[in-house]
């Protein structure tokens, strides 16, 4: 946030009232976390395949950044970092996406956030790519288009071309 604010002072075309963020995997976690923890700054976020709760991901990842899991008094030292814990604070537009066959970050990591958002009565968008693994494979271009469309609609308020397909020329008869 500090970097964006500093750049906005240098470059007038940067609008700090319309800040979007997106990320995939660990970046998907970071995107949702930013949307929940700094809801007045980040207006639009696209969180793809996020490892939203490291208690439900590979031990070596959580331990590398959060230390060993330590349980005490009905909680643990990972709870504060879990995105579903903060989902109730969402204010902006959030688009969650996950590959249904993800064998790196299991889809239930995103489902934890979905459940918390539903219970908090928050509006959000969700896309499950049924046969996609972690990197989305043949669905990657589709996801890229959806990502662009989401920012166009929700940051600048414009309507993107309907069903535009990346990599296919627009042929006019």
Active site residues: 25, 102, 134
CA 113 to each of CA 21, 36, 53, 90, 103: distance values in angstroms, whole numbers, following the listed order: 17, 11, 9, 11, 18
Contact criterion met (CB below 8 Å) for 23 and 30: yes
Helix (H) or strand (E) holding 47: strand 42-48
DSSP structure string for 93-141: EEEEEEETT-SSS-THHHHHHHHHHHHTT---EEEEETT--TT-GGGHH
Contact criterion met (CB below 8 Å) for 52 and 78: no
List, in order, residues 6 or more apart from 77 with CB less than 8 Å away.
Answer: 66, 67, 69, 70
């Amino acid at each position: 946030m500090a970097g964006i604010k500093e750049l906005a002072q240098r470059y007038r075309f940067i609008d700090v009232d319309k800040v979007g963020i997106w990320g995939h995997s660990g970046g998907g976690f970071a995107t949702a976390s930013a949307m929940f923890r700094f809801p007045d700054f980040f207006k639009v976020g696209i969180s793809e395949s996020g490892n939203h709760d490291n208690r439900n991901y590979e031990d070596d990842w959580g331990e590398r950044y959060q230390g060993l899991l330590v349980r005490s008094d009905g909680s643990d030292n990972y709870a504060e970092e879990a995105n579903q814990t903060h989902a109730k604070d969402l204010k902006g537009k959030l688009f969650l996406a996950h590959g249904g066959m993800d064998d790196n970050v299991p889809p239930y990591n995103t489902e934890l956030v979905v459940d918390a958002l539903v219970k908090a009565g928050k509006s959000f968008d969700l896309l499950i790519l049924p046969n996609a693994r972690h990197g989305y494979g043949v669905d990657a271009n589709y996801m890229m288009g959806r990502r662009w469309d989401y920012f166009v609609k929700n940051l600048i308020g414009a309507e993107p071309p309907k069903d535009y397909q990346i990599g296919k020329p627009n042929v006019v008869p």
